[in-house]
Amino acid sequence: MTYDTGTTLRMPRGYAETPLLTITSQCRQAFPNQLAEAGVKAVGGRQRLIEDFTHSWRDWSLVGVRHTAHWNYETHKLNDPAFVGPRGAALTLKIQTTAPANTLAVVLDVDRWRGYDWDMHDRDYALVRLRGADVYWNFSRNSLDHHTGREMAITS
């Protein structure tokens, strides 16, 4: 449950202040056979559009929002089966910049949350030079620089 406290809450450095307070509860799980027995039906389906920002940055983790030279915005939607594209599809980003000649670092972390097996963690990245105010950028994972395990540094 998320509540609007009506006052700004101070956050640790790197996080934006917010009036929202979220309280979570114990997580429960149900297996497919239990869901079927309970009459639960799947809704929705695969979607080609990962984000249209109708709900602003609601589904993203934002760090360093006010630090325009260095910030980190993350989504886990690329791991969500609802957003898996068809075989051979490319991911397209439409990027609106505040000024020409910005550089965007795009990083795809694979299995980052599996801390028990560090060597299985892959990181693919690209530094994209943005020439205009509105830019479309198509890429596939194969077009990114690939690093495995501890080879994590981004070099320009």
pLDDT tens, the chain, 156 aa long: 889 999 999 888 888 889 999 888 888 899 999 999 999 988 888 888 888 889 988 888 888 888 877 788 888 887 788 888 788 777 777 777 777 777 777 787 766 665 555 556 677 777 777 777 666 666 555 555 544 444 434 333
Pull the structure tokens for residue 23.
Answer: 């309280």
The beta-strand segments (E) located in 32-143 are: 61-63, 72-74, 91-96, 102-110, 122-130, 134-139
Q: How many CB atoms lie under 10 A from the CB of residue 124?
A: 19
Contact present, 64 and 74 (Cβ < 8 Å): no
Question: How far is the CA of 14 from the CAs of 25, 26, 64, in angstroms?
Answer: 26, 28, 4
Whole-model pTM above 0.85? Answer: no
Angle, CA of 27, 33 and 34, to the nearest 5°: 45
CA distances from 154 to 3, 97, 118, 146 (A): 39, 22, 18, 10
Q: Measuring CA to CA, how many Å separate 67 from each of 5, 51, 71, 85, 101?
A: 25, 23, 6, 33, 18
